[in-house]
Amino acid sequence: MYKFIWKIQIDRKFTEQEFINFWRETSTILQKYKGAAGTIIHKVEGEERTYMAIASWQTKADRDAMQADTDSGDSELAKRWQKYPKNSEWGKTEFIGRIEEIDNVKPENIRKFWKK
């Protein structure tokens, strides 16, 4: 699983709810691409009007294919997505990085660990 992380500080000319609505609408489009595995937005504690967005993809190749398509604007999904402003238009945007998930421990997985 690959995750892509951005930090976005919303400009005062927008409400935070406007940004959240934008994120939800554009994410809904991107989640229709092959390999999309969800996206989450977090409010950063102690940093006013600041959010972290984390998008998950099954593979880096899936994410790269989505990026190539949205950049070219050829598909119907890309055309829908391109109608929206980009993250950088909402305020200060920083790409934090791309990370690969190696493993996880979740409550639903604990029993299988203890049975070994």
Tally Cβ neighbours within 10 Å of residue 14.
15
Average pLDDT over residues 80-107: 91
- Of the pLDDT bands very low, low, confident and very high (cuts 50, 70, 90), residue 110 is confident
> How many CB atoms within 10 Å of residue 49?
18
- Whether the pLDDT of residue 31 is over 60: the answer is yes
**Of 111 and 20, the one with more pLDDT:** 20
User: From CA 32, how far away is CA 39, in angstroms rounded?
Assistant: 12
Confidence category of residue 36, pLDDT binned at 50, 70, 90? very high
63, 20 in Cβ contact below 8 A? no
Say if residue 107's pLDDT is above 90. Answer: no
The whole-number average pLDDT for the span 24-38 is 97
CA distance 54 to 27: 11
pLDDT recorded at residue 67 = 95
Cα separation, 111 vs 76, in Å, equals 44
